[in-house]
């Protein structure tokens, strides 16, 4: 019986890791699409300095927003769980 519990625990950990990787990939995809659309008007072989700066700032803002939303959502989940 203990072996089954270990296997379940390992399986749950692997699933959590896969979900975290999928979330990170989705974050990068969304950030790339939004910032590219916002900052690159005429795609070419390279980015000029203003496009580079815009993308950098856009990515920073996107990550700050994502982190704020994640923290707030986590706090809300903890509050909801503590009610039960």
**Residue range 6-10: mean pLDDT, rounded:** 81
**For residue range 51-83, what is the model confidence (pLDDT) as tens digits?**
999 999 999 999 999 999 999 998 998 898 888
> What pLDDT shows up at residue 60?
96
Long-range Cβ pairs for the range 35-43 (8 Å, 24+) = 35/59, 35/62
- Give the domains, in start order, of the chain with CATH numbers: 8-82 (1.10.287.810)
pTM, two decimal places: 0.71
> What pLDDT shows up at residue 5?
61
User: In this structure, what DSSP letter does residue 67 have?
Assistant: H
Q: What percent of the chain has pLDDT over 70?
A: 93
**Residue range 1-10: mean pLDDT, rounded:** 68
């Amino acid at each position: 019986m203990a072996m089954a519990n270990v296997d379940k625990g390992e399986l749950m950990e692997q699933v959590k890791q896969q979900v975290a990787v999928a979330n990170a990939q989705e974050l990068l995809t969304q950030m790339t699409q939004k910032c590219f659309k916002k900052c690159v008007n005429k795609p070419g072989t390279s980015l000029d300095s203003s496009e580079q700066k815009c993308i950098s700032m856009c990515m920073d803002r996107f990550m700050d927003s994502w982190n704020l939303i994640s923290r707030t959502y986590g706090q809300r989940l903890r509050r909801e769980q503590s009610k039960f």
